[in-house]
Amino acid sequence: MKIFAPAKVNFGLKIVNKRSDGYHNIDTIMQSLDLYDELWLEKKDADIELSGMDNLSLEDNLIYKAWKKVCLKLNKNLGVRIKINKKIPMAAGLAGGSSDAAMAIRGLNEMYGLELSKSDMADILKGIGADLPFCIYTGTYRAGGIGERLKKLKNPNFNILLLNPGYEVSTKSAYENLEGVFEKSRMDDLEKALLNRDFKLLKESMANDLETYVLRMHPDLSQIKERMRAYKGISLLSGSGPTVFGIYEDEVSLNAAYTDLKRDYKLVFKTRTIDEI
């Protein structure tokens, strides 16, 4: 079985507060894109076998963590062999690992006839990562709590440019170094801007509470944001970064920005927002 795991960006990310269990409550709008990892699944007698991500130990892989939670919940050993072709940069703020895990579980659900709904799968996987429940659904969603409260939104049909500078940023470090972020959220305005494709309001309301620390640690990302804006793009750090994305009203501007940035960076992608899959 071959399945595709889409990348995501955060149009906005608000850290609401820190919980007593150490997790953070968030308010965010997440969007799937037409940039995909490829996964091949086949049944085996028992246990899980992964290939294609040799830089991670099995126990550190989100696919393994998700598989283990499902097996424990169902009291079954769902034997599976998974081969991964990574096209989404890792540790990049694009949810590549979460999307791989979510789609692997959706594939497992279909392959074994488990008859789990998306809601069932999202509930089992919550707590592994804030974006994992969203990655089960895909599309355009506003997420609250620790990512488990989801509200479906309309796909804004945007042209989006992604640029990954080629290094990794620790999500844990970004959350541990939050700087003065617990002020009022603009997420309601952002939701309205997306619904109406209001680019003026979009520019005013797009914000990411993790951005201040990450940009201070990596000043080159601020320069990338400015270069995207030079071609009429609205730019923001996605998640904990280091990927920066730009939203463009037309493909002419997108292509101009792509041509310029591709001269200096290898990992530049022209993408579009996608509906739920």
- Give the C-alpha separation, 186 to 33, whole Å: 23
Q: Which domains does the chain have, with CATH numbers?
A: 2-152 (3.30.230.10), 159-272 (3.30.70.890)
> In the structure encoding, which two tokens stand for residue 2, read together?
């071959």
C-beta neighbour count of 250 within 10 angstroms:
10
Answer yes or no: are the C-beta atoms of 69 and 126 closer than 8 Å. Answer: no
Active site residue 8: yes
User: What per-residue confidence (pLDDT) applies to 124?
Assistant: 93
- Pairwise CA distance, residues 238 & 139, whole Å: 16
Residue 180: the pLDDT is 60
Residue 115 CB partners (closer than 8 Å, separation 6+): 109
Residue 214 pLDDT: 92
One of 27, 37, 100, 131 is an active-site residue; which one?
Answer: 131
Annotated catalytic residue 47: no
Q: What is the dihedral of CA 236, 175, 128, 14, to 10 degrees?
A: -50
Eight-class DSSP state of 113: T
User: Considering only CA atoms, which of 154, 42, 36 is closest in space to residue 85?
Assistant: 36
Residue 67 and residue 105 in contact, taking contact as beta carbons nearer than 8 Å: yes
pLDDT tens for the chain, 277 residues: list them: 999 999 999 999 998 888 888 778 889 999 999 999 999 999 999 999 999 887 777 888 999 999 999 999 999 999 999 999 999 998 888 999 999 999 999 999 999 999 999 999 999 998 788 889 999 999 999 999 888 899 999 999 999 999 999 998 887 888 788 766 556 678 999 999 999 999 999 999 999 999 989 999 999 999 999 999 999 999 999 988 899 999 999 999 999 999 999 999 999 999 999 999 9
Residue 153: the pLDDT is 97
Active-site pick, 8, 14, 65, 126: 8
What's the pTM? 0.93
The pLDDT, as a whole number, for residue 128 is 86
pLDDT of residue 17: 81
Query: 3-state class of 189 per DSSP?
Result: helix
